[in-house]
């Protein structure tokens, strides 16, 4: 019998590689009985991959897992369930057309096979929901349940199987604050019952509220494990976010123009789940400046970028580029360039060649099309030129872009978006998943554009590069701009506090920017 | 000279790259076919030689091959073109009827115009008739997001029955007192010219080849073709690049259906010379197979249709000489496609993965040094 | 008046008899779409099943064995489809089309050797009519329901059995889940591949059974391409019947009525050409899919390729 305090789970030297990215790099992770262990890190840090390995969805390339001191092979979720491991995934694993009860019993061997006898299961459902104070109707089809209830249902599934090791992946993403509180109370109760919980999140505040210990992951590696009680938010932020805490601040000529290239007024929009993502956002960017957007991922940055690039329709407010409304100019490469966060989905057509991707927006204009016919020689010449300029490493422009590495693919996108010398450039997480060399070149390019006179909106969760590259920094939290500061001489702790939503920190500072 | 090679070589390269898999599959299918032939107690080599003779051995054979190739070529183009925009047009069968009916309507009506114009109008009508059959699927797919697969499949049935309606009394298109339900004969001024005197080989084949080349050029060299390919590969990115995706999907579906209509037009104006009840006999479904063998490459469709056509034409001779019945050609075709499917896409993905891994290794080395 | 009543009764009886293959193929066929696989090869499986039924009857002279052989043939065809689409992850439409082509070719080819031992093509033994005479003589209902070969009764019973399997067993629950959300089913510890294979194979067995019904109900002879697109009508029945075995079978009756109408077209002397009636079920299907009439709730992932790694 495992006593409270003994490690119930040990993951040793877990390594997992995907094409182009090392998701888990020799990770050691330990979970004690009755403990709530937080797994903290940015998107892409490797937290979900690690837990998917634990739950059997993925197999590690190397490393081992020990449950209660014994080495185990977890071939799939079936074995994981048998070992008492349960997982609440980031995306709901609920069959919408089935009832709550049917979803819960899925995969659980019932009393009288092959009959689906739901009677005993229904009784157990009601008993558990009563015991844990969850209000759920077993007979309601899932598609009719509000999103918060669907989350409780996911947790109920784990209780039904009496899971001993519970993995919760970003469980508060769809919960209102009061519901999140209820969840934390539940988690603490589970821990008291002797269950062990792994709590994945990228939100510092939550971690501190619910976890006993916190392990921080970054770029597939364990940065450190700390006791939650002792950890400082800024310390955690630093562990989570900084590749190197201080990047050399780049020198630059002062901004000359006062002309506004981007004017956003009272912008409101919804995210994919239908919840408000941006609230009355106002922002002005002038020619020749880089405005960096700092903030923990998921606070509206993506939606902001999508609104500006025309991919998302705002519910209210206006966006103007060089005085013109956004809908009119979205495809005009001399006005707007956009390097999206998800280059595979929006930025590139993987089945096309490098050359074709270079002219994705401009293929119908001269000199690429003359008299209705595409001149491929012009296209290839243009592409070769851009490939040289932006150091895209590929044998020739006729190679399929899907065969390039991530860094080179990003360079293609950047090259294309900048080729029209746009007045306004929006880049969202441009260095995500890139090697050091590619990061360097992206930074140089952004600075060069700024010096040319473009306005640059630079969104990144890497605080160090935001601070190094920007002229001004705005911090986003829950769809609003918490504060705005001059990047020169900005204090990282102030920014950290703003990232956590503590607006007051600016008001208390002497000479804080408006 | 150099200019020309710059254009020809990539086209050849295109064909070779897409041709490797199907050629292997065809060889495997022929091998499997010889097993069947052996079971029948005949000599495979003799049987295939007879098939070859029946397909290309003399003028009559070539004409036979050409006649069978024409509708497969046009139908195959319809499916292939739709596929470029990621649309699965399985409704060619219905479009053949719709197009054939429209062409027949114009073809049996005397018009006070010179013959070449009468023919042109009839062909045009055939295209529009097929496109009309694609209207509902186009609208539903583009603007309502309804899958075109089941819709076009259903439209096949509606098409068959609609054409049947047209050749039964009291339709104006029906030939009164006919032994088998049909329209009156197509007027000589609206018939497709015969290519080889004394045979049924009609200009529908030429039309198909010309269209295949045009579609290839369209896809590769025009903005419309670029937009089509973009929409088929990544509609999200296409939207980002400013393509009106919904309009593009609808247009491609309409054109694809129109091409299907031309397949029926060729049969009616060139081969059958009238609209007959149930005249398509599965051509629309064969067209899907033709397009697949060619990996949806329009120029490849020419070769693929020729292969199918030759196989069907030669089967008759093979029956006479080796005693194997004509359906063997269908079996070999089907096996060829099944092999193509089974062989899979391995090649291109593996190549891409290898290139990327080499890049990563290069970067790791740089990172360590940097 | 008498004459038209007799014609009507005759049409209804024929409708039921012609519906039987569709009902059988439909009640089991929907399982393939329930697990998320589009199987247009049901047409080919039915055709192969029909020929296998005749061959089985000629060889064994036993109706039950012949029926089982037909089912087996359909199941084997479906197995090929399952392998190519589930394991090799090929495009489901293209695979189905290829299978249909193969089925057509192979049955055409074997058509002559099938009857090689006979001078004149014999009609094989048909399914017997088992209702006692007094039941058959009941006015109206008698000829329509009771004077039918036993396979028709099977066609009325099977949908309820399949419905029981789908809604009352835990396996059926898994099937209903996997077509909607295969990843949820995987994370519940179940084998998604096994479920998909099962669904496709069941559709093949049912299609084979439908083929047997087609040929052994009152024809007794195999004719090339005798399914004539009924397999596609079955797929339309899935939509009209909302993927519920009983409703799909009911939809099958609708299509059977259209089929019977087509064969009796001229003799019924209708004001509207019979082709219009034949078109109606298909137009209905289009309308349903377009969302004009009610709401179709297709299994969400039909046609999509399942990739276990892409959660």
Q: Which residue has the higher pLDDT, B307 or A275?
A: B307
pTM of the model: 0.84
Q: What is the pLDDT of residues C67-86, one digit of tens each?
A: 999 999 999 999 999 999 99
Q: Which residue has the higher pLDDT, B131 or A448?
A: B131
Contact between residue C25 and residue C206 where contact means Cβ atoms under 8 Å apart: yes
- The whole-number pLDDT of residue B351 equals 46
Q: Do A373 and B221 touch (CB under 8 A)?
A: yes
> How many angstroms away from the CA of B328 is the closest CA of chain C?
6
> How many angstroms away from the CA of A171 is the closest CA of chain C?
17
> Which residues from A are below 8 Å from C187, CB to CB?
55, 57, 77, 87, 89, 93
Q: Do B165 and C276 touch (CB under 8 A)?
A: yes
- The whole-number pLDDT of residue A195 equals 93
Q: Do C291 and B144 touch (CB under 8 A)?
A: yes
Q: Which of A19, A331, A438 sits opposite B356 (nearest CB)?
A: A19
Residue C43 in tokens: 């047409």
> How many angstroms away from the CA of C260 is the closest CA of chain B?
14
Q: Do C276 and B161 touch (CB under 8 A)?
A: yes
- The whole-number pLDDT of residue B367 equals 40
CA–CA separation, A355 vs A381, rounded Å? 9
Residue recorded with tokens 């296998």:
C52
Say how many CB pairs under 8 Å bridge A and C: 82
Name, in order, each residue with C-beta under 8 angstroms of A469's C-beta and a sequence gap of 6 or more: A247, A250, A290, A292, A443, A446, A447, A458, A487
CA–CA separation, B305 vs B313, rounded Å? 12
Q: 2.60.120, 1.20.1050, 3.40.50, 1.10.3470: which CATH number matches C2-290?
A: 1.10.3470
Contact between residue C273 and residue C68 where contact means Cβ atoms under 8 Å apart: no
Tell me the percentage of chain A whose pLDDT exceeds 70.
93
Buried b / exposed e along C75-113 (16+ C-beta atoms within 10 A): bbbbebbbebbbeeebbbbbbbbbbbbbbbbbbbbbbee
Within chain B, what is the greatest distance between any pair of CA atoms?
A: 90
Is the pLDDT confidence value at A437 over 80?
Answer: no
CA–CA separation, A169 vs A192, rounded Å? 20
Domain residues of chain A, as ranges?
A: 7-241, 260-507
> How many angstroms away from the CA of C288 is the closest CA of chain B?
10
CATH of domain A260-507: 3.40.50.300
Q: Which residue has the higher pLDDT, B350 or C121?
A: C121
Q: Which of A93, A97, A103 sits opposite C183 (nearest CB)?
A: A93
Q: Is A282's Cβ below 8 Å from some Cβ in C?
A: no
Q: Do A350 and B370 touch (CB under 8 A)?
A: no
Burial class (CB in 10 A: 0-12, 13-18, 19+), A486: exposed
Q: How confident is the model at residue B126 (pLDDT cuts 50, 70, 90)?
A: very high
CA–CA separation, A7 vs A389, rounded Å? 54
Query: φ and ψ at B295, to 5 degrees?
Result: 55, 35
Name, in order, each residue with C-beta under 8 angstroms of A293's C-beta and a sequence gap of 6 or more: A301, A304, A457, A458, A459, A460, A466, A473, A474, A475, A476
| Model ipTM value | 0.86
Q: Do B327 and C90 touch (CB under 8 A)?
A: no
Q: Is C194's Cβ below 8 Å from some Cβ in A?
A: no
Residue A193 in tokens: 């019952």
Output the CA–CA distances (angstroms, integers) from residue A251 to A248, A463, A495, in the order listed.
Answer: 9, 18, 21
Q: Do C229 and B157 touch (CB under 8 A)?
A: yes
Q: Do A349 and B233 touch (CB under 8 A)?
A: yes
Name, in order, each residue with C-beta under 8 angstroms of A333's C-beta and a sequence gap of 6 or more: A361, A362, A417, A419, A420, A422
Question: Which class does domain A7-241 fall in?
Answer: alpha beta
Residue B92 in tokens: 């060619």
Contact between residue A488 and residue A306 where contact means Cβ atoms under 8 Å apart: no
Q: Do A374 and B363 touch (CB under 8 A)?
A: no
Of all residues in chain A, the one with the smallest CA distance to B10 is A398
Q: Which of A81, A89, A97 sits opposite C180 (nearest CB)?
A: A97
Q: Is B16's Cβ below 8 Å from some Cβ in C?
A: no
Q: Do B234 and A351 touch (CB under 8 A)?
A: yes
In the three-class reduction of DSSP (H, G, I as helix; E, B as strand; rest coil), residue A474 is classed as strand
- The whole-number pLDDT of residue B172 equals 83
Query: φ and ψ at B139, to 5 degrees?
Result: -65, -50
Least confident of A71-75, A128-132, B107-111, B317-321: B317-321
Say how many CB pairs under 8 Å bridge A and B: 88
Domain residues of chain C, as ranges?
A: 2-290
Q: Which residue has the higher pLDDT, A68 or A329?
A: A68
Of all residues in chain B, the one with the smallest CA distance to A353 is B230
- The whole-number pLDDT of residue C294 equals 59
Is the pLDDT confidence value at B352 over 50?
Answer: no
Residue A320 in tokens: 């103007």
Least confident of A134-143, A496-505, B334-343: A496-505
Q: Is A15's Cβ below 8 Å from some Cβ in B?
A: no
Of all residues in chain B, the one with the smallest CA distance to A359 is B241
Domains and CATH numbers, chain B: 2-369 (1.10.3470)
Q: Is A363's Cβ below 8 Å from some Cβ in B?
A: yes
Q: Which residue has the higher pLDDT, C201 or C114?
A: C201
| Chain B residues bordering chain A (beta-carbon distance below 8 Å) | 220-223, 226, 229-230, 233-234, 236-242, 348, 351-353, 355-357, 359-360, 362-364, 366-367, 370
> How many angstroms away from the CA of A364 is the closest CA of chain C?
32
> Which residues from B are below 8 Å from C286, CB to CB?
136, 151, 154-155, 158
Q: Do C98 and B292 touch (CB under 8 A)?
A: yes
Nearest Cα to Cα of residue A84 among A189, A166, A23 = A166
> How many angstroms away from the CA of C88 is the closest CA of chain A?
20
- The whole-number pLDDT of residue A36 equals 94
Nearest Cα to Cα of residue B238 among B64, B351, B86, B366 = B86
Burial class (CB in 10 A: 0-12, 13-18, 19+), A111: exposed
Q: Do C289 and B333 touch (CB under 8 A)?
A: no
- The whole-number pLDDT of residue C270 equals 65
- The whole-number pLDDT of residue B368 equals 41
* Residue B197 backbone class (left: φ over 0; alpha: ψ -120 to 50; beta: rest): beta
Is the pLDDT confidence value at B83 over 90?
Answer: yes
Of all residues in chain C, the one with the smallest CA distance to A82 is C189
Q: Do A405 and B359 touch (CB under 8 A)?
A: yes
Q: How confident is the model at residue B11 (pLDDT cuts 50, 70, 90)?
A: low
Q: Is A398's Cβ below 8 Å from some Cβ in C?
A: no
Q: Do A340 and B240 touch (CB under 8 A)?
A: yes
A:89-118 residues touching chain C, CB 8 A cutoff: 89, 91-98, 102-103, 105-110, 113-116
Q: Which residue has the higher pLDDT, C155 or C304?
A: C155
Mean pLDDT of chain A: 85
Residue B199 in tokens: 């045979």
Nearest Cα to Cα of residue A331 among B242, B228, B165, B132 = B242
Output the CA–CA distances (angstroms, integers) from residue B188 to B109, B111, B203, B275, in the order listed.
Answer: 11, 12, 14, 14
Of all residues in chain B, the one with the smallest CA distance to A438 is B363
Residue recorded with tokens 């005397």:
B110
Q: Which residue has the higher pLDDT, A168 or C228?
A: A168
Gap between the terminal Cα atoms of chain A: 60
- The whole-number pLDDT of residue A207 equals 84
Interface test with B, best of C80, C82, C102 (most B CBs within 10 A): C102
Question: Which residues is A12 bridged to in the sheet?
Answer: A64
Residue recorded with tokens 């309601």:
A140
Of all residues in chain A, the one with the smallest CA distance to C175 is A106
Q: Which of B149, B155, B337 sits opposite C101 (nearest CB)?
A: B337
User: Quick one: chain C helix, strand, coil %, rounded to 5?
Assistant: 70, 0, 30
Query: φ and ψ at A308, to 5 degrees?
Result: -65, -35
Average pLDDT over residues A18-31: 85
CA–CA separation, C216 vs B353, rounded Å? 54
Residue A419 in tokens: 């080729």
Q: Do C308 and A57 touch (CB under 8 A)?
A: yes
Q: How confident is the model at residue B118 (pLDDT cuts 50, 70, 90)?
A: very high
Q: Which of C177, C300, C309 sits opposite A106 (nearest CB)?
A: C177
Q: Is B331's Cβ below 8 Å from some Cβ in C?
A: yes
Contact between residue A269 and residue A313 where contact means Cβ atoms under 8 Å apart: yes
> Which residues from B are below 8 Å from C236, CB to CB?
150, 153-154
Nearest Cα to Cα of residue B307 among B280, B325, B284, B334 = B334
- The whole-number pLDDT of residue B17 equals 60
Is the pLDDT confidence value at A44 over 90?
Answer: no
In the three-class reduction of DSSP (H, G, I as helix; E, B as strand; rest coil), residue A269 is classed as strand
Average pLDDT over residues A253-263: 81
Q: Do C184 and A106 touch (CB under 8 A)?
A: yes
A:22-61 residues touching chain C, CB 8 A cutoff: 52, 55, 57-58
- The whole-number pLDDT of residue B124 equals 96
In the three-class reduction of DSSP (H, G, I as helix; E, B as strand; rest coil), residue A31 is classed as strand
Least confident of A483-497, B51-65, B145-159, B212-226: A483-497
> Which residues from C are below 8 Å from B25, CB to CB?
none
Q: Which of C168, C180, C311 sits opposite A95 (nearest CB)?
A: C180
CA–CA separation, B72 vs B69, rounded Å? 5
Q: Which of B288, B327, B331 sits opposite C97 (nearest CB)?
A: B288
> How many angstroms away from the CA of A89 is the closest CA of chain C?
9
């Amino acid at each position: 019998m495992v006593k409270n305090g003994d490690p119930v789970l040990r993951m040793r030297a877990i390594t997992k590689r995907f094409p182009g990215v090392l998701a888990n790099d020799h990770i050691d992770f330990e979970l004690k009985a009755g403990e709530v262990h937080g797994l903290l890190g940015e998107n892409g840090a490797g937290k979900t991959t690690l837990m998917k390995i634990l739950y059997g969805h993925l197999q590690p390339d190397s490393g081992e897992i020990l449950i209660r001191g014994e080495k185990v092979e977890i071939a799939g979720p079936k074995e994981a369930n048998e070992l008492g491991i349960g997982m609440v995934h980031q995306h709901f694993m609920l069959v919408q057309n089935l009832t709550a009860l049917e979803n819960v019993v899925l995969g659980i061997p019932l009393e009288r096979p092959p009959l689906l006898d739901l009677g005993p299961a229904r009784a157990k459902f009601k008993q558990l929901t009563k015991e844990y104070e969850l209000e759920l109707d077993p007979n309601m089809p899932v598609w009719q349940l509000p999103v918060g209830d669907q989350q409780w249902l996911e947790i109920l599934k784990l209780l039904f199987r009496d899971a001993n090791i519970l993995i919760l992946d970003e469980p508060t993403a769809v919960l209102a604050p009061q519901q999140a509180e209820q969840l934390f109370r539940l988690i603490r109760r589970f821990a008291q019952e002797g269950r062990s919980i792994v709590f994945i999140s990228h939100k510092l505040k939550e971690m501190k509220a619910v976890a006993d210990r916190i392990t921080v992951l970054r770029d597939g590696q364990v940065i450190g494990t700390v006791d939650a009680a002792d950890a400082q938010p800024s310390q955690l932020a630093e562990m989570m976010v900084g590749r190197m805490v201080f990047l050399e601040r780049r020198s630059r000529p002062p901004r000359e123009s006062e002309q506004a290239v981007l004017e956003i007024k009272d912008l409101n929009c919804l995210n994919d789940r239908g919840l408000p993502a941006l609230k009355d956002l106002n922002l002005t960017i002038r020619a020749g400046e880089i405005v960096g957007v700092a903030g923990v991922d998921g606070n509206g940055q993506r939606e902001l970028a999508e609104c500006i690039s025309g991919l998302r329709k705002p519910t209210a407010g206006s966006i103007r580029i060089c005085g013109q409304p956004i809908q009119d100019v979205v495809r005009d490469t001399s006005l707007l360039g956009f390097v999206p966060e998800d280059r595979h989905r929006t930025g590139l057509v993987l089945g096309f060649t490098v050359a074709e991707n270079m002219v994705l927006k401009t293929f119908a204009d001269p000199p690429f099309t003359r008299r209705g016919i595409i001149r491929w020689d012009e296209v290839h010449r243009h592409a070769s030129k851009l490939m040289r300029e932006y150091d895209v490493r590929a044998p020739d422009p006729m190679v399929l872009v899907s065969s390039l590495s991530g860094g080179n693919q990003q360079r293609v996108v950047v090259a294309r978006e900048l080729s029209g010398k746009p007045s306004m450039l929006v880049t969202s997480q441009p260095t995500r998943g890139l090697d050091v060399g590619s990061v360097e070149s992206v930074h140089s390019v952004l600075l060069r554009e700024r010096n040319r006179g473009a306005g640059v909106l630079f969104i990144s969760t890497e605080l160090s590069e935001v601070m190094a590259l920007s002229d001004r920094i705005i911090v986003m939290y829950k769809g609003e701009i918490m504060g705005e500061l001059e990047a020169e001489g900005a204090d990282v702790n102030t920014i950290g506090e703003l990232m956590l939503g503590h607006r007051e920190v600016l008001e208390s500072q002497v000479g804080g920017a408006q | 000279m150099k200019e020309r090679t710059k254009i020809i070589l990539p086209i050849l390269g295109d064909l070779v790259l897409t041709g490797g898999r199907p050629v292997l599959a065809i060889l495997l299918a022929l091998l499997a076919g010889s097993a069947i032939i052996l079971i029948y107690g005949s000599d495979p080599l003799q049987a295939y030689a007879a098939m070859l003779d029946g397909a290309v051995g003399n003028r009559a054979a070539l004409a036979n091959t050409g006649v069978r190739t024409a509708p497969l070529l046009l139908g195959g183009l319809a499916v292939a073109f739709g596929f470029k925009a990621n649309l699965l047009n399985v409704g060619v069968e219905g479009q053949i009827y719709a197009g054939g009916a429209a062409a027949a309507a114009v073809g049996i009506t005397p018009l006070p115009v010179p013959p070449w114009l009468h023919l042109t109008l009839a062909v045009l009508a055939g295209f529009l008739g097929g496109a009309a059959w694609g209207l509902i699927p186009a609208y539903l797919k583009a603007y309502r997001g309804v899958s075109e697969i089941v819709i076009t499949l259903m439209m096949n049935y509606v098409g068959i029955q609609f054409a049947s309606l047209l050749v039964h009394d009291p339709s104006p298109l029906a030939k009164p007192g006919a032994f088998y339900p049909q329209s009156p004969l197509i007027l000589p001024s609206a018939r497709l010219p015969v290519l080889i005197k004394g045979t049924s080989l009609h200009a529908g084949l030429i039309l198909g080849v010309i269209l295949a080349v045009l579609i290839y050029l369209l896809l590769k060299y025009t903005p419309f073709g670029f937009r089509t390919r973009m929409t088929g590969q990544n509609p999200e990115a296409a939207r980002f690049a400013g393509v009106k995706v919904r309009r593009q999907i609808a247009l491609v579906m309409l054109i694809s259906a129109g091409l299907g209509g031309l397949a029926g037009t060729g049969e009616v104006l060139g081969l059958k010379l009238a609209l007959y009840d149930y005249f398509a006999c599965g051509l629309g479904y064969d067209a899907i197979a033709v397009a697949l063998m060619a990996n949806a490459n329009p120029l490849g469709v020419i070769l693929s249709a020729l292969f199918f056509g030759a196989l069907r034409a030669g089967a008759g001779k093979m029956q006479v000489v080796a005693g194997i019945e004509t359906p063997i050609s269908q079996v070999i075709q089907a096996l060829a496609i099944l092999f193509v499917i089974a062989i899979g896409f391995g090649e291109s993905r593996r190549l891409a993965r290898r290139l990327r891994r080499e890049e990563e290794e290069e970067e790791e080395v740089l990172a360590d040094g940097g | 008046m008498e004459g038209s009543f007799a014609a009507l009764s005759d049409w209804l009886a024929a409708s039921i008899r012609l519906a039987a293959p569709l009902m059988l193929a439909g009640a089991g066929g929907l399982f393939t779409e329930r697990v998320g696989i589009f199987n247009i090869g049901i047409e080919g499986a039915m055709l192969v099943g029909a020929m296998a039924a005749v061959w089985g009857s000629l060889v064994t002279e036993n109706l039950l064995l012949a029926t089982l052989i037909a089912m087996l043939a359909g199941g084997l065809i479906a197995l090929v489809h399952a392998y190519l689409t589930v394991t090799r992850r090929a495009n489901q439409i293209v695979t189905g089309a290829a299978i249909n082509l193969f089925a057509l070719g192979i049955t055409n080819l074997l058509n002559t050797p099938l009857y090689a031992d006979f001078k004149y093509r014999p009609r094989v033994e048909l399914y017997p009519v088992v209702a006692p005479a007094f039941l058959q003589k009941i006015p109206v209902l008698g000829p329509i329901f009771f004077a039918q070969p036993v396979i028709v009764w099977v066609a009325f019973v099977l949908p309820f059995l399949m419905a029981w399997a789908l809604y009352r067993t835990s396996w059926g629950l898994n099937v209903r889940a996997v077509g909607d959300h295969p990843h949820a089913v995987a994370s519940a510890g179940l084998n998604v591949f096994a479920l998909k294979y099962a669904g496709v194979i069941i559709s093949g067995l049912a299609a084979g059974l439908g083929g047997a019904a087609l040929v052994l109900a009152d024809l007794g002879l195999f004719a090339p391409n005798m399914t004539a697109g009924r397999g596609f009508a079955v797929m339309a029945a899935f939509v009209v019947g909302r993927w519920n075995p009983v409703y799909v079978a009911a939809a099958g009756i609708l299509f059977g009525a259209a089929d019977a109408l087509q064969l009796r077209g001229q003799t019924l002397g209708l004001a509207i050409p019979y082709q219009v009636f034949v078109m109606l079920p298909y137009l209905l299907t289009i309308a349903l899919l377009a969302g004009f009439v009610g709401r179709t709730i297709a299994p969400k992932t039909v046609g999509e390729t399942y990739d276990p790694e892409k959660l």
